[in-house]
Structures are given as C-alpha cells and as structure tokens.
Homo-oligomer: A and B are copies of this chain.
Amino acid sequence: MKPAPDLILQQLEPHAVRIATRKRQKIALTGEPDETLYLVRKGLFLARASMPHARHQIMSILYPGDCVRSAAMPPLDGSEITAATESGEVWRVRWSAAKTAMETDPNLARYVSDRVANQTARLALHNAIIAGLTGEERVAALITELVLRIGKQTPAGFVFDMPLSRTDIAEHLALNADTVSRIVSRMRAKGLIAVAGRNRLVCRSIEMLESECPLATTLERMHGTAVRQPLPAI
C-alpha cells in the first residue's frame, strides 16, 4: 500500500515557498540560476513560453498534483506559469532541497519522477493533437480534456468554468484566436456545447463531443481517471 500523495508531499512543505495565486497571476521561470521544482497544489495553471517575434505558446495545462521541474522546460525566453483559475496554490521548492528529500524518501522520488513522466506523455499526446488533427478536432479535444478534468455532472450535462480565454486556446492549440472563435461558434451551433453565463460551458453529451475527436479514447485514458481520483495512480 502506497502512502497517499498528500502525505508524500507533506515532507516538502518545510522547504517550500507557498504561492497563493489569483487569476492571471504569473510566476516567472526564466532567470533562475538554479533548478527549481514547482508543485501545483490547487487550481489550474498554464505553462507558457515566448517565441521570437513576440509570439507566445501555452505548452501545457497543469492540474493539481502536477509537478514541474524547470529542467523539463526548454530554454525558451519568457517561460512562465500563469494561474488560470480564480484562486490557486503553487509550492516552489529549491532543487537542492527537493533532491535531498527525494534521496531520503524513495516514495517522494518515485512520485516526482512518475509525475514528470506523466507530463511527458501528455506533452507527446498534445504533440499528436497539434500535428495530426484539424482545428475543429483540436478544440473538441481540449474541451473533452477539460470536461474529463474539471467537468461537474448536472442534470443539464457536464458544466465547467472555462479557464482559458480565446487567445489562450489559440496559443495552446496552434491556431489563430479568430479561428478559435469561429470554431467555437460552429460547435455551439451544432449543439456540442452551450454557454451558461460568462465563461461557463455546458456539454450536454460527452459522447457527441468525443465523436468529433479522433483521439478521444486516449484522452479518456490520460485524463479520465483523474475525474474519479484527483491524482492519477502513481
């Protein structure tokens, strides 16, 4: 029987700087001489990097339980983590402290390395989505992921607050913000999704949504279990 993730992470608490965040708050990753470990404890975050020519990209969406080593981010300028939900919490741990703790407790070492592996798999999947799907399929994939992760089942269907703006979606899916807006409108017209107030989305039928996206079964396997147990099996 493995210890619960929370218990494992407890050991890092004395070494961690807790950062309570509000929506859109940024945590810069560049300019740090030493490696750092970030633990997402609460809320959703976007790992963002700048490209030359003032272009930005959202490399991945981070969920509670994720941990990010700065070594797992490529040396791009302006790397940062942005809070995507109203309130969130991140722990920042100096790598030297994390390393010591990991050498003391193999469970912690395993937790961190498994989490990094999981992040790698998600990146690879995201690669496949960007590289192989059409715009509409990409948006369907993103909404499917969010439904699986943060959707709440109600009589009207799965409801969630959209944590990404149109621009964020565009930066994440390698699309244009205008195009994203068009696609979302089209999906609304098709009845795949509906809006319920500012930034709140309703998905009546997840099956309909998944039928729009060729990689739905993989998404289900990568994000679906997260609905039932907050942190994927480790």
Contact = CB atoms under 8 A, between A and B. Distances in A.
Interface of A: 49, 51-53, 55, 57, 59-60, 69, 71-76, 99, 102-103, 106, 109-110, 112-114, 116-128, 130-132, 174, 214-215, 218, 221-222
A201 to B, nearest CB: 24
Contacts of A116: 113, 116-117, 120
B218 A128 contact: no
A52 B114 contact: no
Main secondary structure of the interface of A (DSSP, over half): helix
A214 B128 CA distance: 22
B71 A121 contact: yes
Contacts of A218: 74-76
B113 A73 contact: no
Given A57-B127, A75-B222, A127-B127, A51 B121 contact: no
Contacts of A120: 72, 116, 119-120, 123
A72 B117 contact: yes
